[in-house]
Amino acid sequence: MSNRILNYLTKEILGTIDIMQVGFPFLRDKGTLNVGAPADIAILELREGNFSFIDNYENVRSGTQRLFPFETLLAGKRVPRA
């Protein structure tokens, strides 16, 4: 995968996913870390390795980086992993 695509994934996508939900009326109080706001946070871990990714059309792409869930907080409380 080209460096341009990797840079796009790590900078552009991660830069927008925290605010994308505010476009939905039922999530108006989400998408902010302001004082007093509910702390709903997903912490992701970037791992290096060889990974395969399959899209909706079953096309397979390979990559050397992948995001994994590391920690989740809902209303400021840690969510135990299943």
Domain extent listing, the chain? 3-78
Look at residue 17 and tell me whether its pLDDT is greater than 70: no
Nearest CA to 78 out of 46, 44, 40 is that of 40
Average pLDDT across the chain, whole number: 77
pTM above 0.75, yes or no: no
Summarize pLDDT for 51-79 with one digit per residue, the tens: 999 989 999 999 998 989 999 988 889 99
DSSP E strand stretches across the chain = 41-54, 60-74, 77-78
